[in-house]
């Protein structure tokens, strides 16, 4: 099973606000939805930062 590391970073301070280690793609999708975003997890698993909402960036990398 593929697992991912997810980093949420504040757009204002640039500091990491949450870090999730070795989570499934389903969990990544739940994190996205919990932050009021409509993006799909499988579209952002590229190791790049993406704007999650007006407060946070999300970065999803394979672990």
Is the confidence at residue 1, as pLDDT, over 90? no
Q: For 3-44, what is each residue's pLDDT tens digit?
A: 999 999 999 999 999 999 999 999 999 999 999 888 999 899
For residue 45, what are the domain limits?
4-62
Q: For 43-61, what is each residue's pLDDT tens digit?
A: 999 999 999 999 999 999 9
Is 59:9 a contact under the CB 8 Å cutoff? yes
The tally of CA atoms less than 13 A away on the side-chain side of residue 13 is: 6
């Amino acid at each position: 099973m593929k697992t991912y590391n997810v980093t949420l970073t504040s757009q204002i301070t640039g500091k990491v606000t949450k870090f999730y280690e070795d989570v499934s793609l389903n969990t990544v999708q739940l994190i996205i939805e919990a932050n009021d975003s409509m993006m799909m997890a499988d579209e952002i698993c590229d190791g790049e930062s993406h704007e999650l909402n007006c407060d946070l960036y999300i970065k999803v990398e394979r672990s």
